[in-house]
Structure formats: C-alpha cells, structure tokens
Amino acid sequence: MFIEERHQAILNWLQEKGSITVGDIQSQFGVGYDSAKRDLRILEEKGLLKRTHGGALPLRQVAFGRPAKNTVRDIPVIKENYFQIAMKAVSMIENNDVIFLTSATVCYFMAQNIPDNIRVRVVTNSIVIAEELRMKDNVSVILLGGEMDDKGNCYDAMAVEMIKRLRFDKCFITTACISAEFGLSIQRTAAISFFNAVMDSSKKSVGLYPKEKIGFDSIVSICPAERLEMLITDWDAAEEDLQLFGDKGIEIVVVEKTN
C-alpha cells in the first residue's frame, strides 16, 4: 500500500469510528510505531485530523453538537474515559458539600456513583440527573426551574436567577469544547449567562473534559479557560494542549486507563 493510500485509509477509519490509535495503524497497516506516529503528524500538518497522546481524532466542525444517544430513556452509553473522569470527580466530593452538576453524560455518571456514606446536596439543571439522585437517601436535590428544553434541561433566565441565590462548594461542569485560546465554548448563546453564573456562585470550578472536547472550539465562547481552577481529563488528551492549560495556572488532573 502506498503512503497516500494508507493516509486515506486512516482518514476513512476516523470518519467511520471516531478515533484511531497508533496501535490501530500498526496492526491494520503493518507499519512500525515510528511510521504510524509520522503518518498522524503529516495528516495533522495538512489540517486533516487532530493528534492526541496515543492516536488521533477527526477534526470537528465549529457547529458540532452532541452525538445521538443510543439507549432507552436517553441514558448514555458508558465510555471508559468519561466514566473514569466522573469517578475522579466523585472522589473530590466531601461530606456535607453543596455541589453543582451540569446536564452532561459525565455528570450523569457522577450522579450514579455518589457514595452512600456521605451527605451531599446537589444542584442541577437536568431532570435526568435529578431523577437519578431522587432515591438516594443521603443526597438532597435542588432542581433549577425555568423553560425546559427537549432533553430535560433548563438554561434560561429563571435558572440563572435561581443560581444567583445559591452558593456551591464545587461545581462540576463541561461544555461542547475547551481550548486554551477560545476558552470554554458551546453552541447555545443562552448558556453563556448560565455557566458564568454557576462559576460565580462556586468556591471551586472543576471542568470535566474528555479528549474528544479538548483543543476544539464551538460557536460561542463562554469564558476564558482560566476561570476553571481544575481540569480533569483522560490519558489520551494531547500533551501540548494540557501544557497550554497548565501555563494558565489551571490544575490538570489526568485519569489513567484501567485496562
């Protein structure tokens, strides 16, 4: 196979599967480690993909939205990196904390795994997360009101006014994308005031960003990245991106793969 054919096959793989590792390239195309890394570097230099620590992701359009969910009741499929980020975030919750969980897959996993031996008050704008927590005897829930979207979330002015009357020990948030240059970004302009109000009301703001969201920009910038005190990500996030966040004074926590 000519190198041009291999490069096209790598791009086809990315389009079909959403990511590729150096090991995938080695096994699929019978090349060595250095050649696989070189392939990804060349394709990134051509603006055709984004390299991660152990492979690559396809480039995302600015207007890229959430992937469709593939389960009953819109409960998300468990992805290992999302789950490990969620478990690390859960380990930061202390007894009697008041925390905010935004409407997101990784925060849903957090809600599922809050331990029974601590008392926690959770504020959320997600009816799905609130329902997950409703039966936990050790968790009290404040569900933000306002006009609900089709996914059961509230971001409007009524929700913002409620947030301004609350204070959190920690907020755990994620958005469509984050980059050192453009900051936290999202598709909906209505969410700008919402997320800024959450961070204004929190003693500590923790960003939960898997590799799929790091180094990309969505349509609207919410705020600079350094509004986060901590960023939790996974083992495959690009080291170059993490260094840029570290240079801004953000504490970086990288979770490890379990297998």
Counting the structural domains of the chain, the total is 2
The pLDDT value recorded for residue 77 is: 67
The pLDDT value recorded for residue 76 is: 59
Owning domain of residue 190: 72-254
The pLDDT value recorded for residue 244 is: 96
What's the rounded Cα separation, in Å, for the pair 204 and 169?
Answer: 6
- Domain annotation covers residue 231: yes
The pLDDT value recorded for residue 64 is: 52
At 91 the three-state DSSP class reads coil
Nearby residues of 108 by Cβ (< 8 Å), 6 or more positions away:
75, 76, 126, 128, 129, 132
Block residue for tokens 């599922």: 112
Task: Answer yes or no: do 108 and 205 share one domain.
Answer: yes
Residue ranges for the chain with pLDDT beneath 50: 63, 66-73
What's the rounded Cα separation, in Å, for the pair 179 and 244?
Answer: 9
- Domain annotation covers residue 66: no
Task: Answer yes or no: do 220 and 198 share one domain.
Answer: yes
- Using only the alpha carbons of the chain, give its radius of gyration: 19
Provide the 8-state DSSP code for 154.
Answer: B
CATH of the domain at 19: 1.10.10.10
For the chain, the first-to-last Cα distance in angstroms comes to: 32
Task: Answer yes or no: do 160 and 95 share one domain.
Answer: yes
Provide the 8-state DSSP code for 241.
Answer: H
What's the rounded Cα separation, in Å, for the pair 109 and 82?
Answer: 8
What's the rounded Cα separation, in Å, for the pair 123 and 3?
Answer: 53
Task: Answer yes or no: do 106 and 42 share one domain.
Answer: no
Task: Answer yes or no: do 137 and 231 share one domain.
Answer: yes
Task: Answer yes or no: do 82 and 50 share one domain.
Answer: no
Task: Answer yes or no: do 122 and 191 share one domain.
Answer: yes
Task: Answer yes or no: do 130 and 159 share one domain.
Answer: yes
Nearby residues of 1 by Cβ (< 8 Å), 6 or more positions away:
9, 29
The pLDDT value recorded for residue 29 is: 87
Task: Answer yes or no: do 35 and 160 share one domain.
Answer: no
pLDDT per residue over 179-235, tens digit each? 999 999 998 888 899 999 999 999 999 999 999 999 999 999 999 999 999 999 999
- Phi and psi at 93, nearest 5°, equal -75, 130
Task: Answer yes or no: do 125 and 49 share one domain.
Answer: no
The pLDDT value recorded for residue 86 is: 97
Task: Answer yes or no: do 8 and 102 share one domain.
Answer: no
Q: Which helix (H) or strand (E) holds 132?
A: helix 127-133
CATH of the domain at 166: 3.40.50.1360
